[in-house]
Structure 1
């Protein structure tokens, strides 16, 4: 398929933190997403083939809960009924649905991971990405050797080759890490799905700047879905509301949404044009001018955040802070604070 429409569906998030029945709120969120996705398909048209949802849209995020508490309250079973219901949304609307959620893993029963899953029009998961950069949540990098033994590197940096093109995920603040986007682009990614829940502003925020940079650097589309508001926490609800956008492979905004729930951030993605650009010699073809061997050698010289640090069971919030403090000292010396 050389061209199709994509939507960053800006949906309100209802946090489950204080709920006595968190799973009922998850089911309610899935119901709202089902209704809004069907309405978006009817509104935008049959060529709507990709819908990206905001970060942790089903639950909100941990707000003081321990890893064990949040796993029990909010983590989905990868084979559980919630993903089946989301798959039905994709199947019923003949589109690819990208959803970000916390989920459990039988290989790491004491932890949860923040996952982004892309479901195809048959309702099947064609990509499952576990976030690698997270300040206060476990990641595959924290249990690195064991994770690679179980899943392998292709599951750490997945790219889904689909009828729409090659899809990949940059979760939330991971848009700020150029190495991740570049690695996925070298693996063939053409469209970056960027579920997020962030502060929007009239001017360009750091993440908005990064979205344009990642698109330009990698000659890729970026489909970024931000929250349409946040309820159930003491944080002001519109702090994470608005600014969903689609960026083309030259860094130009194709569509942007204001605050609140919205289907305004929708536009056509022209994969044929992207592929022509990627195959055209010239200064602008940045991806074809990358020097991976040079950077692999240089990066290997530096000791910052170490893999596999999480070996003693579920981490506390303090553990995450102490890990970063240790990395800062390795970067700037033992006297760094």
Structure 2
């Protein structure tokens, strides 16, 4: 029996200083938990992508290589013990020991005992992230050889006493496959962190989060960032590049709580895992979409590859060259879709 509990999507300002960020997160988290636990106990807190390191971490200069476990996760672990909550967070530039010359973007979960119980690497990357991070697909053959091509190796889910939790990060929210992989591995709560403008204010962020929840009968906890206080993007000072709008969505795709501010704040919502489980096992119609997936009919959709695998499997990969390679790879993928007449070129004006 999983008792109902409150979850928090924590939205915080960022600096180009991970120690300062974590100190700030601790203070804001304490306030948010104190206010929210007036009704039900808070058992889950989610931080946005970049909340720990700031966006300047991936700017010009040496990359801030980190490890999981490491200094940052140790501090998060202490917070989890102090507040007796699960914490979901993210780190850039994570070194994977089996791929020492490649860096990854990772989501991780720490339990109330301060232990890391989950780690997943980002699969879908935004173009600008290609200069410093690697997708599992970029080293696909090596990954499959070392880790396997299974749901647990690609779409892992943490089984906890507050439900089964899976994670996706930022750009991955634009692809239905990521959340579906997590859901078909049992996820009941999906963490989806961060998007930037103009795709927050125009409704894309909300649309994606609600769709992931509805199509997979999952809760979605979606923390976005507060104002960026670093100088990697603005010499003048604070710059709200994400637009905030952190939210929590229920398993029917309805927003439980959304905040519109772009500064320090949070969205909080009641998570009722038993209600979700009753819905999944009793609703035979609309709103319970995994039960009648006709999987054999869908395999054909992905039989032909589109984006090339193994683009960073071997050889040196300096950041400037990675971006050049990425542009070329995107162009080839578009050409592939044109050649298959999936895409059609727009009419040219005379």
**Rounded Cα–Cα distance in structure 2 between residues aligned with 1:330 and 1:312:** 26
For residue 91 of structure 1, report the CA deviation from its aligned partner. Answer: 1.3
Deviation at 1:278, TM superposition (A): 0.5
The partner residue of 2:316 within 313, 316, 319 is: 313
TM-score (norm 2): 0.86
**Offset of residue 158 of structure 1:** 0.5
Q: Counterpart in 2 of 1:133?
A: 124
C-alpha displacement of 1:63:
5.5
Displacement of 1:268: 0.4
Q: 1:33 aligns with which of 25, 29, 47?
A: 25
Give, in whole Å, the separation in 1 of the partners of 2:58 and 2:41: 39
Cα distance in 1 for residues equivalent to 2:163 and 2:3: 8
- 1:92 paired with 2:82, answer yes
User: In structure 2, the residue corresponding to 1:240 is in which secondary structure?
Assistant: coil
**Residue correspondence of structure 1 range 186-335 to structure 2 within 5 A:** 186-199=184-197, 205-232=203-230, 233-235=232-234, 237-280=239-282, 281-300=284-303, 302-310=304-312, 311-314=314-317, 316-333=322-339
Contact persistence 1:303–1:330 (CA under 8 A)? no
Partner in structure 2 of residue 51 of structure 1: 45
SS in 2 for 1:286: coil
CA 1:200–1:50 in structure 2 vs 1: closer, same or farther (change >3 Å)? farther
TM-score, scaled to structure 1: 0.89
* Cα distance in 1 between the residues matched to 2:166 and 2:123: 14
Cα displacement (A) at 1:32: 1.2
Q: Report the counterpart of residue 13 of structure 1 in structure 2.
A: 14
How many Å apart are 1:7 and its aligned residue?
A: 0.4
Are 2:199 and 2:205, in contact at CA under 8 Å, matched by a contact in 1? Answer: no
Q: Is the 8 A contact 1:13 1:228 kept in 2?
A: yes
Distance in 1 (CA, whole Å) between partners of 2:207 and 2:215 is: 12
Match of 1:112 in 2: 103
Superposition deviation, residue 148 in structure 1? 2.5
Distance, in Å, in 2 between the alignment partners of 1:210 and 1:223 is 12
CA deviation vs aligned residue, 1:99-151 (integer Å, no higher than 9, x gap): 11111122222221000001111111111010000032311110012122333
Once residues 227 and 168 of structure 1 are traced to their aligned partners in structure 2, the CA distance between those partners, rounded to angstroms, is 20
2:156 maps to: 158
Out of 122, 129, 141, the residue aligned to residue 145 of structure 1 is 141
The answer to whether the 8 Å contact 1:51/1:95 transfers is yes
Q: CA shift at 1:203, angstroms?
A: 5.7
> 1:2 deviation in Å?
3.2
1:3 paired residue number: 4
Provide the rounded CA distance (Å) in 1 between the counterparts of 2:200 and 2:306. 35
RMSD, aligned CA: 2.2
Task: Give the structure 2 partner of residue 42 of structure 1.
Answer: 34
Query: Could you tell me whether the CA contact under 8 Å between 1:303 and 1:331 is conserved in 2?
Result: no
Displacement over 6 Å in runs of 4+:
334-337
Which runs of no fewer than 5 residues in structure 1 stay unpaired? 17-24
Q: Distance in 2 between matches of 1:171 and 1:201?
A: 15
Q: Distance in 2 between matches of 1:64 and 1:122?
A: 34
SS at match of 1:265: strand
Unaligned runs of 5+ in 2: none
Tell me the matched-pair count. 322
